[in-house]
Structure 1
Amino acid sequence: MEPKKLHAGDSVTWAREAPAYPSADGWSLCFALRGPGSLDVVSTDGEPYQFRMTASQTRALPPGAYHWACYAIRDDERATLESGRMEILADLLQAETFDGRSHARRMLDLIEAALEKRIPKDQQSYEIDGMKLDRIPVERLEALRTRYRREVAAEGRRGRSPFGRYSHARL
Protein backbone atom coordinates (compact mmCIF):
# COMPACT_ATOMS: atom_id res chain seq x y z
CA MET A 1 0.00 0.00 0.00
CA GLU A 2 1.31 3.45 -0.92
CA PRO A 3 2.50 5.68 1.93
CA LYS A 4 0.28 8.61 2.98
CA LYS A 5 3.14 10.72 4.39
CA LEU A 6 6.86 10.67 3.79
CA HIS A 7 9.78 12.78 4.99
CA ALA A 8 11.94 13.98 2.11
CA GLY A 9 15.21 12.06 2.31
CA ASP A 10 13.62 8.86 3.65
CA SER A 11 13.59 5.65 1.66
CA VAL A 12 10.38 3.65 1.43
CA THR A 13 9.25 0.35 -0.08
CA TRP A 14 5.77 -1.08 -0.56
CA ALA A 15 3.99 -3.79 -2.50
CA ARG A 16 0.89 -3.73 -4.69
CA GLU A 17 -1.22 -6.62 -5.92
CA ALA A 18 -2.45 -6.49 -9.53
CA PRO A 19 -3.71 -9.98 -10.41
CA ALA A 20 -5.42 -8.74 -13.60
CA TYR A 21 -2.04 -7.49 -14.90
CA PRO A 22 0.49 -10.32 -14.41
CA SER A 23 4.14 -9.63 -15.10
CA ALA A 24 4.29 -12.98 -16.94
CA ASP A 25 2.07 -11.36 -19.61
CA GLY A 26 4.45 -8.40 -20.00
CA TRP A 27 2.79 -5.97 -17.58
CA SER A 28 4.69 -3.66 -15.25
CA LEU A 29 3.42 -1.09 -12.78
CA CYS A 30 4.40 2.56 -12.66
CA PHE A 31 3.88 4.91 -9.71
CA ALA A 32 3.66 8.60 -10.70
CA LEU A 33 3.91 11.32 -8.03
CA ARG A 34 3.05 14.95 -8.89
CA GLY A 35 2.94 18.12 -6.80
CA PRO A 36 5.59 20.73 -6.02
CA GLY A 37 8.00 18.15 -7.50
CA SER A 38 7.62 14.92 -9.44
CA LEU A 39 8.88 11.36 -9.33
CA ASP A 40 8.12 8.23 -11.35
CA VAL A 41 8.96 4.78 -9.98
CA VAL A 42 8.68 1.53 -11.94
CA SER A 43 7.99 -1.65 -10.01
CA THR A 44 10.17 -4.71 -10.00
CA ASP A 45 8.79 -7.80 -11.73
CA GLY A 46 6.84 -10.38 -9.81
CA GLU A 47 3.71 -10.57 -7.81
CA PRO A 48 3.09 -8.72 -5.71
CA TYR A 49 4.79 -5.87 -7.52
CA GLN A 50 7.43 -4.10 -5.41
CA PHE A 51 8.12 -0.35 -5.39
CA ARG A 52 11.11 1.41 -3.87
CA MET A 53 11.83 5.12 -3.55
CA THR A 54 15.41 5.75 -2.46
CA ALA A 55 16.58 8.42 -0.05
CA SER A 56 18.23 10.36 -2.89
CA GLN A 57 14.99 10.28 -4.93
CA THR A 58 12.81 11.57 -2.10
CA ARG A 59 15.42 14.13 -0.95
CA ALA A 60 14.82 15.97 -4.23
CA LEU A 61 11.08 16.35 -3.53
CA PRO A 62 10.02 19.74 -2.13
CA PRO A 63 7.66 19.50 0.86
CA GLY A 64 3.96 19.79 0.09
CA ALA A 65 0.80 18.01 -1.02
CA TYR A 66 1.16 15.55 -3.89
CA HIS A 67 -1.18 13.44 -6.01
CA TRP A 68 -0.18 9.96 -7.10
CA ALA A 69 -1.45 7.37 -9.53
CA CYS A 70 -0.48 3.75 -10.07
CA TYR A 71 -0.62 2.50 -13.67
CA ALA A 72 -0.38 -0.95 -15.24
CA ILE A 73 1.63 -0.61 -18.47
CA ARG A 74 2.30 -3.02 -21.34
CA ASP A 75 3.51 -1.86 -24.76
CA ASP A 76 0.90 0.72 -25.87
CA GLU A 77 -1.65 -0.27 -23.20
CA ARG A 78 -2.22 1.50 -19.90
CA ALA A 79 -4.74 1.15 -17.07
CA THR A 80 -5.02 3.31 -13.96
CA LEU A 81 -5.22 1.01 -10.94
CA GLU A 82 -5.61 3.58 -8.19
CA SER A 83 -4.80 7.16 -7.27
CA GLY A 84 -4.54 9.14 -4.08
CA ARG A 85 -2.75 11.82 -2.11
CA MET A 86 0.57 11.89 -0.31
CA GLU A 87 2.22 14.54 1.83
CA ILE A 88 5.95 15.08 1.59
CA LEU A 89 7.32 16.53 4.81
CA ALA A 90 10.51 18.56 5.23
CA ASP A 91 13.91 16.88 5.58
CA LEU A 92 15.30 18.51 8.70
CA LEU A 93 18.78 17.11 8.07
CA GLN A 94 18.98 19.22 4.91
CA ALA A 95 17.14 22.32 6.14
CA GLU A 96 19.19 25.26 7.38
CA THR A 97 16.10 26.86 8.89
CA PHE A 98 12.62 25.54 9.45
CA ASP A 99 9.40 27.14 10.60
CA GLY A 100 7.30 24.30 11.93
CA ARG A 101 4.18 26.39 12.38
CA SER A 102 1.20 25.67 10.16
CA HIS A 103 -0.11 28.31 7.77
CA ALA A 104 -2.95 29.07 10.20
CA ARG A 105 -0.55 29.52 13.14
CA ARG A 106 1.76 31.80 11.10
CA MET A 107 -1.19 33.94 9.99
CA LEU A 108 -2.60 34.15 13.51
CA ASP A 109 0.80 35.24 14.87
CA LEU A 110 1.10 37.94 12.18
CA ILE A 111 -2.42 39.23 12.79
CA GLU A 112 -1.92 39.39 16.56
CA ALA A 113 1.41 41.21 16.10
CA ALA A 114 -0.31 43.72 13.79
CA LEU A 115 -3.08 44.30 16.34
CA GLU A 116 -0.58 44.84 19.17
CA LYS A 117 1.34 47.48 17.21
CA ARG A 118 -1.81 49.04 15.78
CA ILE A 119 -2.08 52.71 14.91
CA PRO A 120 -5.13 54.48 16.37
CA LYS A 121 -8.48 53.25 14.97
CA ASP A 122 -9.32 56.56 13.36
CA GLN A 123 -6.08 56.58 11.35
CA GLN A 124 -6.33 53.95 8.62
CA SER A 125 -3.54 55.39 6.45
CA TYR A 126 -0.65 57.78 6.77
CA GLU A 127 2.11 59.32 4.67
CA ILE A 128 5.85 59.39 5.32
CA ASP A 129 8.30 61.07 2.92
CA GLY A 130 5.76 61.00 0.09
CA MET A 131 4.95 57.29 0.57
CA LYS A 132 1.36 56.50 1.46
CA LEU A 133 0.79 53.44 3.65
CA ASP A 134 -2.65 51.91 4.10
CA ARG A 135 -3.61 49.63 6.92
CA ILE A 136 -6.07 46.78 7.10
CA PRO A 137 -8.98 48.04 9.20
CA VAL A 138 -8.94 46.77 12.79
CA GLU A 139 -12.38 45.19 12.32
CA ARG A 140 -11.08 43.11 9.39
CA LEU A 141 -8.00 42.04 11.38
CA GLU A 142 -10.22 40.98 14.28
CA ALA A 143 -12.41 38.93 11.94
CA LEU A 144 -9.33 37.26 10.47
CA ARG A 145 -7.98 36.59 13.95
CA THR A 146 -11.22 34.81 14.87
CA ARG A 147 -11.04 32.70 11.71
CA TYR A 148 -7.41 31.68 12.23
CA ARG A 149 -7.94 31.01 15.94
CA ARG A 150 -10.58 28.46 14.92
CA GLU A 151 -8.23 26.85 12.41
CA VAL A 152 -5.39 26.64 14.96
CA ALA A 153 -7.75 25.16 17.56
CA ALA A 154 -8.95 22.56 15.02
CA GLU A 155 -5.35 21.63 14.22
CA GLY A 156 -4.71 21.14 17.94
CA ARG A 157 -7.71 18.82 18.24
CA ARG A 158 -6.46 16.76 15.29
CA GLY A 159 -2.93 16.60 16.72
CA ARG A 160 -1.45 18.15 13.57
CA SER A 161 2.12 19.22 13.22
CA PRO A 162 4.42 19.60 10.19
CA PHE A 163 5.47 15.99 10.91
CA GLY A 164 2.01 14.48 11.15
CA ARG A 165 0.78 13.14 14.47
CA TYR A 166 3.07 13.58 17.42
CA SER A 167 3.24 12.49 20.99
CA HIS A 168 4.67 14.10 24.09
CA ALA A 169 7.37 12.32 26.05
CA ARG A 170 6.86 12.06 29.78
CA LEU A 171 9.89 12.54 31.93
Structure 2
Amino acid sequence: MLQHFPTSITAGLSLKCEVFSDQFPAPEWVLKAILRGPSQIDLVADAAGTGHVFAETAIATGGWDAGLYAISIRAVSGDDVHELEAGQISIAADLVAISETHDARGHAERTLEAIEAVIEGRASKDQQSYTINGRTLVRTAIADLLALRKTYKDEVRQLNSSGRHKKLMGRKVNVRFG
Protein backbone atom coordinates (compact mmCIF):
# COMPACT_ATOMS: atom_id res chain seq x y z
CA MET A 1 0.00 0.00 0.00
CA LEU A 2 1.37 3.38 -0.97
CA GLN A 3 1.56 5.93 1.84
CA HIS A 4 4.03 8.47 0.45
CA PHE A 5 3.06 8.47 -3.22
CA PRO A 6 -0.40 8.90 -4.81
CA THR A 7 -2.15 5.74 -6.00
CA SER A 8 -3.46 7.48 -9.11
CA ILE A 9 -2.33 10.36 -11.29
CA THR A 10 -3.39 11.79 -14.63
CA ALA A 11 -1.09 12.16 -17.60
CA GLY A 12 -0.94 15.75 -18.82
CA LEU A 13 -1.26 17.21 -15.31
CA SER A 14 1.56 18.37 -13.08
CA LEU A 15 2.71 16.01 -10.36
CA LYS A 16 4.11 17.12 -7.02
CA CYS A 17 4.64 14.69 -4.19
CA GLU A 18 6.56 15.51 -1.02
CA VAL A 19 8.12 12.66 0.96
CA PHE A 20 9.61 13.03 4.42
CA SER A 21 11.51 10.14 5.98
CA ASP A 22 13.49 10.38 9.21
CA GLN A 23 15.24 7.18 8.23
CA PHE A 24 16.33 8.42 4.77
CA PRO A 25 16.80 12.22 4.95
CA ALA A 26 17.99 14.35 2.04
CA PRO A 27 20.60 15.21 0.94
CA GLU A 28 22.34 12.03 2.24
CA TRP A 29 19.68 9.91 0.53
CA VAL A 30 18.08 10.30 -2.92
CA LEU A 31 14.59 8.95 -3.53
CA LYS A 32 13.70 7.25 -6.80
CA ALA A 33 10.28 6.16 -8.04
CA ILE A 34 10.41 3.23 -10.45
CA LEU A 35 7.19 2.57 -12.40
CA ARG A 36 6.72 -0.44 -14.67
CA GLY A 37 3.60 -1.11 -16.67
CA PRO A 38 2.51 -0.05 -20.16
CA SER A 39 5.78 1.87 -20.26
CA GLN A 40 8.88 2.45 -18.14
CA ILE A 41 8.95 5.59 -15.99
CA ASP A 42 11.82 6.50 -13.66
CA LEU A 43 11.60 9.55 -11.42
CA VAL A 44 14.19 11.13 -9.13
CA ALA A 45 13.13 13.37 -6.26
CA ASP A 46 14.79 16.70 -5.58
CA ALA A 47 16.04 17.45 -2.07
CA ALA A 48 13.94 19.95 -0.10
CA GLY A 49 15.71 20.44 3.20
CA THR A 50 15.74 16.95 4.71
CA GLY A 51 12.70 15.95 2.63
CA HIS A 52 12.27 14.86 -0.95
CA VAL A 53 10.01 16.24 -3.70
CA PHE A 54 8.95 14.37 -6.82
CA ALA A 55 7.92 17.09 -9.28
CA GLU A 56 7.02 16.59 -12.92
CA THR A 57 5.58 19.13 -15.33
CA ALA A 58 2.36 18.64 -17.26
CA ILE A 59 4.46 18.41 -20.44
CA ALA A 60 6.52 15.56 -18.95
CA THR A 61 3.50 13.58 -17.69
CA GLY A 62 1.66 14.19 -20.97
CA GLY A 63 3.90 11.59 -22.61
CA TRP A 64 3.12 8.89 -20.05
CA ASP A 65 1.06 5.91 -21.21
CA ALA A 66 -2.17 5.32 -19.31
CA GLY A 67 -2.61 2.08 -17.40
CA LEU A 68 -1.80 0.20 -14.23
CA TYR A 69 1.82 0.25 -13.06
CA ALA A 70 3.86 -1.48 -10.39
CA ILE A 71 5.76 1.13 -8.38
CA SER A 72 8.73 0.98 -6.05
CA ILE A 73 9.90 4.01 -4.04
CA ARG A 74 13.56 3.53 -3.19
CA ALA A 75 16.07 5.43 -1.06
CA VAL A 76 19.57 5.40 -2.53
CA SER A 77 22.86 6.45 -0.96
CA GLY A 78 25.88 5.23 -2.92
CA ASP A 79 25.58 1.44 -3.17
CA ASP A 80 23.02 1.31 -0.34
CA VAL A 81 19.42 0.90 -1.63
CA HIS A 82 16.26 0.47 0.49
CA GLU A 83 12.64 0.21 -0.58
CA LEU A 84 10.38 2.64 1.31
CA GLU A 85 7.19 1.30 -0.23
CA ALA A 86 5.83 -0.61 -3.19
CA GLY A 87 2.43 -1.09 -4.72
CA GLN A 88 0.38 -0.17 -7.73
CA ILE A 89 -0.39 3.17 -9.29
CA SER A 90 -2.91 3.98 -11.96
CA ILE A 91 -2.13 6.57 -14.60
CA ALA A 92 -5.24 7.96 -16.28
CA ALA A 93 -5.06 9.14 -19.86
CA ASP A 94 -4.72 12.84 -20.59
CA LEU A 95 -8.17 13.97 -21.75
CA VAL A 96 -6.55 16.33 -24.25
CA ALA A 97 -4.98 13.34 -26.01
CA ILE A 98 -8.20 11.29 -26.19
CA SER A 99 -10.21 11.34 -29.41
CA GLU A 100 -13.66 12.87 -29.48
CA THR A 101 -15.23 9.42 -29.90
CA HIS A 102 -13.85 8.09 -26.60
CA ASP A 103 -16.27 6.04 -24.45
CA ALA A 104 -15.56 7.28 -20.92
CA ARG A 105 -17.78 4.70 -19.25
CA GLY A 106 -16.14 2.09 -17.08
CA HIS A 107 -16.21 -1.67 -17.52
CA ALA A 108 -19.34 -2.15 -15.41
CA GLU A 109 -21.34 0.43 -17.37
CA ARG A 110 -20.30 -0.94 -20.77
CA THR A 111 -20.96 -4.52 -19.70
CA LEU A 112 -24.37 -3.66 -18.25
CA GLU A 113 -25.35 -2.05 -21.55
CA ALA A 114 -24.19 -5.15 -23.49
CA ILE A 115 -26.13 -7.51 -21.19
CA GLU A 116 -29.27 -5.39 -21.53
CA ALA A 117 -28.89 -5.40 -25.32
CA VAL A 118 -28.69 -9.20 -25.32
CA ILE A 119 -31.78 -9.45 -23.09
CA GLU A 120 -33.65 -7.04 -25.35
CA GLY A 121 -32.61 -8.95 -28.46
CA ARG A 122 -33.68 -12.22 -26.89
CA ALA A 123 -37.17 -10.98 -26.01
CA SER A 124 -38.53 -12.11 -29.37
CA LYS A 125 -36.58 -15.40 -29.55
CA ASP A 126 -38.04 -18.33 -27.68
CA GLN A 127 -35.47 -21.04 -28.46
CA GLN A 128 -32.44 -21.39 -26.19
CA SER A 129 -30.54 -23.60 -28.63
CA TYR A 130 -30.76 -24.86 -32.18
CA THR A 131 -28.74 -26.91 -34.65
CA ILE A 132 -28.16 -26.20 -38.35
CA ASN A 133 -25.97 -28.44 -40.54
CA GLY A 134 -24.44 -30.12 -37.50
CA ARG A 135 -23.51 -26.84 -35.80
CA THR A 136 -25.19 -26.07 -32.50
CA LEU A 137 -25.80 -22.66 -30.96
CA VAL A 138 -26.65 -22.51 -27.26
CA ARG A 139 -27.76 -19.20 -25.84
CA THR A 140 -27.21 -18.08 -22.27
CA ALA A 141 -30.34 -18.72 -20.21
CA ILE A 142 -32.47 -15.63 -19.53
CA ALA A 143 -32.21 -16.32 -15.78
CA ASP A 144 -28.41 -16.19 -16.03
CA LEU A 145 -28.55 -12.96 -18.02
CA LEU A 146 -30.89 -11.41 -15.44
CA ALA A 147 -28.53 -12.44 -12.62
CA LEU A 148 -25.58 -10.87 -14.47
CA ARG A 149 -27.65 -7.76 -15.12
CA LYS A 150 -28.42 -7.43 -11.40
CA THR A 151 -24.73 -7.86 -10.50
CA TYR A 152 -23.62 -5.17 -12.93
CA LYS A 153 -26.50 -2.81 -12.03
CA ASP A 154 -25.43 -3.06 -8.39
CA GLU A 155 -21.80 -2.35 -9.33
CA VAL A 156 -22.76 0.69 -11.41
CA ARG A 157 -25.03 1.95 -8.61
CA GLN A 158 -22.18 1.55 -6.10
CA LEU A 159 -19.74 3.43 -8.36
CA ASN A 160 -22.22 6.25 -8.83
CA SER A 161 -23.01 6.55 -5.12
CA SER A 162 -19.32 6.51 -4.12
CA GLY A 163 -18.77 9.70 -6.09
CA ARG A 164 -16.52 8.16 -8.73
CA HIS A 165 -18.93 9.09 -11.49
CA LYS A 166 -20.70 12.07 -9.94
CA LYS A 167 -20.72 15.38 -11.73
CA LEU A 168 -18.67 18.19 -10.23
CA MET A 169 -21.11 20.97 -11.11
CA GLY A 170 -23.07 22.13 -8.10
CA ARG A 171 -20.76 20.41 -5.63
CA LYS A 172 -18.00 21.77 -3.46
CA VAL A 173 -14.64 20.48 -4.70
CA ASN A 174 -11.55 20.98 -2.54
CA VAL A 175 -8.30 21.33 -4.46
CA ARG A 176 -4.80 21.76 -3.08
CA PHE A 177 -2.03 23.10 -5.27
CA GLY A 178 1.56 22.31 -4.34
Change (3 A) 1:22 1:100: same
Letter in 2 for 1:108: L
Match of 2:45 among 33, 43, 46: 43
Answer yes or no: is the 8 Å Cα contact 1:124–1:137 preserved in 2.
no
Does 1:67 find its partner at 2:70?
Answer: yes
Deviations 1:137-156 (A, max 9, x none): 22221111111111111111
SS of the aligned residue for 1:73 comes to strand
For 2:102, give the aligned amino acid. Answer: F
2:97 aligns with 94
For 1:102-128, what per-residue CA distance to the aligned partner results, in whole angstroms no more than 9, with x for missing partners?
Answer: 11110000000111011523242454x
Q: 1:122 aligns with which of 127, 131, 134?
A: 127
Structure 2 residues without counterparts, runs of 5 or longer:
172-178
2: CA distance between counterparts of 1:72 and 1:56?
26
Q: Does 1:146 align with 2:119?
A: no
Give the AA of the match of 1:3.
P
Query: Which of the numbers 153, 160, 163 marks the counterpart of 1:156?
Result: 160
User: C-alpha displacement at 1:167, in angstroms?
Assistant: 2.2
Tell me which amino acid in the other structure corresponds to 2:117.
A
Ranges in structure 1 where 5+ consecutive residues have no aligned partner: none
TM-align CA RMSD: 2.6
Q: Is the 8 A contact 2:128 2:140 kept in 1?
A: no
Aligned-pair identity in percent equals 33
- Cα deviations by residue, 1:58-116 (Å, 9 ceiling, x for unpaired): 22333333332211012221111123443222211111132111111100000001110
* In structure 2, distance between residues paired with 1:24 and 1:53: 19
> How many matched pairs?
165
- In structure 2, distance between residues paired with 1:159 and 1:121: 40
In structure 2, the CA distance between the partners of 1:157 and 1:101, relative to structure 1 (3 Å rule), is same
Equivalent AA in structure 1 for residue 60 of structure 2: Q
**Worse-matched range after superposition: 113-122 or 133-142:** 133-142
Match of 2:109 among 105, 108, 117: 105
